[in-house]
Amino acid sequence: MAHASEKRIQLRGLYVYQRLPMETACKKVGVPRSTGNRWKQEAADKGDDWETVRAAVALGDDNFNTLSKKLLEDYLVQHQATMDQLRDATTMSARDRAETLASMSDSFNKTMVSFKRLSPDLDRQAVQLDVLQRFVSFAQGKFPQHLQALAEMLEPFGEELAKVR
């Protein structure tokens, strides 16, 4: 039974943009799941990978961005708590401490690399904040007489940076 191309387009939209499970999308369109899977595979064979587009849509979703920010925040809180425990651990051997630090460093680096890929906007903001902090430290050390003027400019400049996309 031949289905209209509109059904294919509708199925793709439900699956990719509304991120419905394939089974649910097929039921809404009124086609068997096997047909939906075949259409999806045929599209992939022609260069239209529904999974890739679906993932890209999810990455741009505000809910995803909020979730990724929350996950990063939770990770950083846990990382800091572990560092505090490590600092307070007086009975830990030097070898165990070094292994724990190496493991935490690896975990931190992997987390940050992943997060940079998932949320380049937050990564950009992190770089901006780092540059501002370095500039303030530089000014404190080299030009302390200008700190008052710098302090007056930093907040409005921060607002300008936030507008940059």
CA distances from 15 to 8, 36, 65, 78, 92 (A): 11, 10, 20, 35, 52
Q: What is the C-alpha to C-alpha distance for residues 80 and 84, in angstroms, rounded to an integer? A: 6
The domain of 132 spans 119-165
CA distances from 75 to 22, 59, 82, 125 (A): 32, 19, 10, 18
Q: Choose the final residue of a domain: 59, 77, 100.
A: 59
Q: Is residue 108 very low, low, confident or very high in pLDDT (cuts 50, 70, 90)?
A: confident
Summarised one tens digit per residue, pLDDT across range 10-36 is 999 899 888 899 999 999 999 999 999
Q: What is the C-alpha to C-alpha distance for residues 10 and 16, in angstroms, rounded to an integer? A: 10
Are 17 and 45 members of one domain? Answer: yes
Are 93 and 139 members of one domain? Answer: no
Higher local confidence (pLDDT), 66 or 161? 66
User: Whole-model pTM above 0.75?
Assistant: no
What is the tally of structural domains in the chain?
A: 3
Helices assigned H by DSSP within 33-145: 33-45, 50-60, 62-88, 94-118, 120-142
Are 105 and 139 members of one domain? Answer: no
Are 126 and 160 members of one domain? Answer: yes
Are 10 and 53 members of one domain? Answer: yes
Q: What is the C-alpha to C-alpha distance for residues 112 and 152, in angstroms, rounded to an integer? A: 32
Summarised one tens digit per residue, pLDDT across range 46-78 is 888 888 777 767 766 666 667 777 888 888 899
